[in-house]
Amino acid sequence: MTRLRCAILDDYMNLALGIADWAKVGDRVEVKVFNEPFASPEAAASALADFEIICAMRERTPFPRAMFAALPKLKLLITSGMRNAALDMEAAKDHQVVLCGTQFGRDPTAPLAMGLILELTRNIGRENARMHAGERLQKFVGIEIEGRTLGVVGLGKLGAKVSGLAKAFGMNVIAWSPNLTPERCEEVGVGYATKEQLFSTADFITIHVVLSQRSRGLVGAADLARMKPTSYLVNTARGPIVDEAALLETLQQRKIAGAAIDVFSVEPLPVDHLFRKLDNIVLTPHLGYVTEEGFRSHYSQMVEGIDAWLKGEPLRRLA
């Protein structure tokens, strides 16, 4: 029997084959792993032209309408997570591609957001690097986060989780999002603020809204200009939610104390990006969901999803 071809995309750390049991579909599917990002959409289309199944890791490889049109053999696309802003859902439907996802057991992004706040305020990574470099004495003076105000943009599951962690550190928490109500804030136990109040009063601002057409550029130059010179911005949501050019200018001119950014408009972040030249920004390569437990869950569910689709019973359909 001729086996179908399955592409596993963007497995940067070469984990996919060892962390899930692909032998469950090995008699029906031939699997190929792509460890590196594609150089261009054209390169992606060329490399994936002969695959009937694609397993995508979040939004690392975009699938706009043109990509679906370039892949006539594609029948099933499974993405990690149940939401992927880089997939053109209507185009997939028009090209009769079945879209499925995987579910998170729990989301580790909230602890990462707090870790970034601790790095900004206590310089753990910088002092570690200096110790390993042979520096004898410490260089950075930290600041305490207890008693300071955290402004949370987006009070869904993740925003609420971050709020709880921040309160455990003794922080005051306020929140805002376009549809947020005082009742939801009361339910979570945080203060309700307008957008203007949040950006002008918070010591730390952390982003936890979903990327959509409505939220692109939600945090713009005017919002950054309202921030205090002693305040920090943290983004572990999606890069395009924050106006990247405006943030770069704000940091270059040192209008705020700093930022910690885990997500970018273009990922991986280009090696010549000006963010890499700044000393008042903490950069991480989209670590929010990158855990052993998370990858094991996603890839195992991908195997499960392929098996179910082959039997005519797709699981966790997105559309």
**Catalytic center residues:** 238, 267, 286
Nearest CA-CA partner of 192 in 235, 159, 233: 159
In 9-96, beta strands by DSSP E? 29-33, 53-56, 76-79
Yes or no: say if 303 and 26 are a contact pair by the CB < 8 Å rule: no
Q: Which residue has the tokens 């590196």?
A: 36
Yes or no: say if 165 and 114 are a contact pair by the CB < 8 Å rule: yes
Instruction: Give dist(CA 26, CA 314) in Å, integer.
Output: 18
As to burial, measured by CB atoms within 10 angstroms (0-12 exposed, 13-18 middle, 19+ buried), residue 155 is buried
| C-alpha separations of 157 from 28, 107, 161, 209, 267 in Å | 38, 9, 6, 10, 25
DSSP category for residue 186:
H
